[in-house]
Structure 1
Amino acid sequence: MSDANPYFEDIQAVNAEVEAWYTGASQAGALDQLMAHFSPQFCMILPDGGTLDWPMLREIFARHGGQRPNFKIRITDTTIIARYAGGAVVTYKESQWDGGHAANVRRSTAVLEIDAHGRVQWRHLQETFCAE
Structure 2
Amino acid sequence: MQEANPYFAELDDINALVQAWYNSAADAGVLERLMARFSVEFSMILPNGGTLNYPALREIFAKNGGQYPGFEIATTDMVIVARYPAGAVVTYNEHQSDGQGKRTVRRSTAVLEIDEQGKVMWRHLQETICAD
TM-score, normalised relative to structure 1:
0.95
Contact 1:112 1:120 in 2 (8 A): yes
Match of 1:18 in 2: 18
Q: Does 1:41 align with 2:41?
A: yes
Equivalent pairs, count: 132
Structure 2: 5+ residue runs without aligned partners?
A: none
Match of 1:87 in 2: 87
Superposed CA deviations along residues 50-100 of structure 1, whole A, max 9, x for unmatched, are 000000000000001001011000100000000000000000000001236
Displacement of 1:2: 1.0
Q: Does 1:118 align with 2:118?
A: yes
TM-score, normalised relative to structure 2:
0.95
State the SS of the aligned residue for 2:48. coil
The root-mean-square deviation of aligned C-alpha atoms, in Å, is 1.4
Q: Does 1:108 align with 2:108?
A: yes
Structure 1: 5+ residue runs without aligned partners?
A: none
Q: Distance in 1 between matches of 2:122 and 2:52?
A: 13
Contact 1:17 1:26 in 2 (8 A): no
State the SS of the aligned residue for 1:47. coil
Identity of aligned residues (%): 61
AA partner of residue 11 (structure 1): L
